[in-house]
Amino acid sequence: MRKFTTSRRGYLAAVGTSSLVGLAGCTTGGGGGTEITPGTAPGFPPFEFKNDDNELVGFDIDLLEAVVGETDYTLGSWEELEFSSLIPGLQNDRIDVIAAAMTITEDRDETIDFSDPYYNADQSILVASGGDFSPSSLDDLEGRRLGAQEGTTGESVIQSELIESGQVSESNYNAYGSYVLAVEDLINGNIDAIVIDQPVAQTFASQRDVDIAFTYETGERYGFGVRTDDDDLQEALNSGLATVQDNGTYEEIRNEWFSSA
């Protein structure tokens, strides 16, 4: 079992894949633009996680920094929260933008707004390597002990597709604050499978003793979250995102985190 490496390129070589205090609300930054406080939830590699030097790194971190760099805004210090606390943190002005591989859903779109999508992902089912459990569909998860990160699409799939149908009982579902903890429980035999975003599942499978059993297509897309009344920031993020996609910066960042070194 390998540990996260100390740098992005070291991390890539190892897996062969792809400042905690923030300001409350927008302020005037030293660079002349409005400073915004970004929020994320580490423990979701390669999108956001802490490396061996306890530095916050990942695809979302690099991408948001590049996007904001193309706007009149400046980026303040990152706030690190539990995933389920990100939307409340946004609504309470603790942070100004969410960059945390957050899927754009109808429910979330009722409480916050999103930038244009920046990544497409489905859900994968992780199982322990070398075990005798090899599911090939959601039906094969019936009666099994399942795990997901609280507030994620993986949890929604378990709730809506398996628990509501009676295939899995509430007592057989474990919600985690981080997928790192869920993977540890999976390896230790405390749960039978995890439902998790496909690119993150690929990263864990490259690094831990877990395998992707199958992928469940959801058509989900990630976006940066902003407050519903923050139209200027939303428009700026969309403009910055279009710029980094057009000038090749997006592809460069994506290749550094998701392609072989």
Q: Is the pLDDT of residue 143 over 80?
A: yes
Distance between CA atoms of residues 147 and 13, nearest Å: 29
pLDDT at 163: 97
3-class DSSP string for 152-201: CHHHHHHHHHHHCCCCCCHHHEEEECCHHHHHHHHHCCCCCEEEEEHHHH
Q: 247 Cβ partners below 8 Å, 6+ apart?
A: none
pLDDT at 13: 32
pLDDT at 26: 59
Q: Is the pLDDT of residue 215 over 90?
A: yes
Distance between CA atoms of residues 250 and 27, nearest Å: 27
Distance between CA atoms of residues 78 and 12, nearest Å: 23
Q: Is the pLDDT of residue 7 over 70?
A: no
The yes-or-no answer to whether 8-118+223-258 and 122-219 have a common fold is: yes
pLDDT band, residue 203 (cuts 50/70/90) = confident
One of 3.40.30.10, 3.90.1300.10, 3.40.50.300, 3.40.190.10 is the CATH number of 122-219, namely 3.40.190.10
26 versus 239: the higher-pLDDT residue is 239
Q: Is the pLDDT of residue 175 over 50?
A: yes
Paired tokens of 217 = 């297509």
pLDDT at 220: 86
Distance between CA atoms of residues 167 and 154, nearest Å: 16
Q: 257: how many CB neighbours lie within 10 A of its CB?
A: 23
The per-residue pLDDT for range 90-131, each reduced to its tens digit, is 999 999 999 999 999 999 999 999 999 999 889 999 999 999
pLDDT at 27: 55
pLDDT at 246: 96
DSSP string, the chain: -PPP-SSHHHHHHHH--------SS-EE-TTSSEEE-EEE-SSBTTTBEE-TT--EESHHHHHHHHHHTTSSEEE-PPEE--GGGHHHHHHTTS-SEE-S--B--HHHHTTSEE-S--EEEEEEEEEETT-S----SGGGGTT--EEEETTSHHHHHIIIIIITTTSS-GGGEEEES-HHHHHHHHHTTS-SEEEEEHHHHHHHHHHSSEEEEEEEEEEEEE--EE-TT-HHHHHHHHHHHHHHHHSSHHHHHHHHHHS--
The per-residue pLDDT for range 9-31, each reduced to its tens digit, is 333 333 333 333 333 455 544 44
Paired tokens of 230 = 């923050």
Q: What average pLDDT does range 199-205 have in this prediction?
A: 89
Query: Mean pLDDT across the chain, nearest whole number?
Result: 87
Superfamily assignment of 8-118+223-258 in CATH?
A: Periplasmic binding protein-like II (3.40.190.10)
Q: What average pLDDT does range 171-184 have in this prediction?
A: 95
Q: Is the pLDDT of residue 87 over 70?
A: yes
Q: What average pLDDT does range 46-53 have in this prediction?
A: 94
For the chain, domain boundaries: 8-118+223-258, 122-219
Asked if the peptide bond before residue 135 counts as cis, ω within 30 degrees of 0, the response is no
> What residue type is assigned to position 155 of the chain?
E
